[in-house]
Structure 1
Amino acid sequence: MIVRAAPHAIRGTLAVGERVRPCVLGRGGIVADKREGDGGTPVGRFPLRRLLYRPDRESAIATGLPILPLSEHLGWCDDPGDPVHYNRLVRLPFDSRHERMWRDDGLYDLVIELGYNDAPPVPGRGSAIFLHLARPDGRPTEGCVALARDDMLAVLVAVGSESMIDISYA
């Protein structure tokens, strides 16, 4: 899987095999030196860890990735001051800063966890970098890569546990 965009662009392309799809990037575009809160999508090559999904909204998902159904009790720690849980899935309630994975806006109805800054996580280097569903109005993400739902479903069929995402400048 290949993501390409011009420097500072919030829109790019995601290619899997011969098929190229439009994607949305972070408000900071693709960045070489990712930092927590900068809005940048990190440059690099990262494994696809697993698919997380809302079982009340999605079912029978075809993919070769490991799958984890979300619940209202799951969050993602984005607090660099918590080195034990930083850039990790956590159970709610949770005392450190985090985002909820069970979102009302639908962006995380289908979300692929990318293996960015996770082996091990370095506090402050960025967290919660996912491939998720795009907003209907096409607004940029906080640093993730986002696709339209139909494009995400097509990508899910084409990827597996050995798949990687390569994010770089066009």
Structure 2
Amino acid sequence: MRDLVVTGHRARFLGRQFPVAIGRNGITTDKREGDGATPAGVWRLMEGGYRADRLARPDAPFPLYPTGPRDLWSDAPDAPDYNHLVRAPYAPSHERLRRADPLYDVFVVTDWNWPEATPGKGSAIFVHCWRGPLRPTAGCLAFRPEHLRWILDRWTPRSRVIVRPQS
């Protein structure tokens, strides 16, 4: 099976090991909005975005869209479009998808609490580019850009992300 298995700060995919950044508060089995933890569980990669002004569209078996300056992701649990793509101007709390840093040069939306979102159970749980080795995320999984591209090049519609709880 072509599953990406994450255990702590290590990921395994197709026999290769990769360093991976996880949430600043580790891995949790009880994900809450803003807790800084990566949710344990089995996820699917659904769709994503990339900075077309910085790089070519990565190969992937799901849609990847170029992100623009008005593209945002709602992280406001009380908003009707919580944990979904929204466009600026947008008053509730959100994340910008087109960033000055390279974090979201390539990002993939997982099915963690998406598309049917339960308010407060976590938003924007993405797979994306990292800040650097062991630099934590707010709850996502993050990889070196070249590792993320290698993984996406070999991803299949049946592949899964398996995040193991910390013991």
**Normalised by the size of structure 2, how large is the TM-score?**
0.93
**Distance across 1 between alignment mates of 2:59 and 2:115:** 27
In structure 2, what is the equivalent of residue 164 of structure 1? 160
What is the match of residue 141 of structure 2?
145
Alignment of 1:20-31 (within 5 A): 20-31=17-28
Match of 2:151 in 1: 155
Note the residue ranges of structure 1 that are not aligned, 5 or more in a row: 6-11
Number of residues of Structure 1 aligned to a counterpart in Structure 2: 163
Which piece of structure 1 moves more, 97-106 or 155-164?
155-164
Aligned pair partner of 1:128 in 124, 135, 150:
124
Aligned to 1:4: 7
- Give, as a single letter, the amino acid of the residue that structure 2 aligns with 1:4: T
Q: Which of 36, 39, 42 is equivalent to 1:42?
A: 39
> What is the Cα deviation at residue 18 of structure 1?
0.6
1:161 CA displacement: 3.1
CA distance in 2, matches of 1:120, 1:63: 23
- The structure 2 residue matched to 1:16, chosen from 13, 16, 23, is 13
- Are 1:91 and 2:94 an aligned pair? no
* Structure with higher strand content: 1
What whole-Å deviation, never above 9, does each CA across 1:89-144 have from its counterpart, x for those lacking one? Answer: 11111121101000001100011111101141000011000011010364200000
Tell me the distance in 1 between the aligned counterparts of 2:133 and 2:12.
22
Q: What are the superposed Cα offsets for residues 23-55 of structure 1, whole Å, 9 maximum, x if unpaired?
A: 010001000000000000000001100131000
TM-score, length basis structure 1: 0.91
Alignment partner, residue 112 of structure 1: 108
For the 8 Å contact 2:21–2:133, the answer to whether it is kept is no
Matches of 2:104 and 2:78, distance apart in 1 = 25
Matches within 5 A, 1:50-61: 50-61=47-58
Structure 2 unpaired stretches of 5+: none
C-alpha change, 1:67 and 1:119, in structure 2 (3 Å) is closer
Match of 1:70 in 2: 67
Aligned to 1:8: none
State the Cα RMSD in Å. 1.3
CA contact (8 A) 1:132 1:144 kept: yes
Task: Write out per-residue CA displacement over residues 65-84 of structure 1, whole angstroms, 9 at most, x where no aligned residue.
Answer: 221111111000000111x2
Contact 1:16/1:158 (<8 A) preserved: no
Q: Matched residue of 1:126: which SS?
A: coil
| Percent of aligned pairs sharing the same letter | 36
Q: Whole-Å Cα distance in 1 between the matches of residues 156 and 65 of structure 2?
A: 14
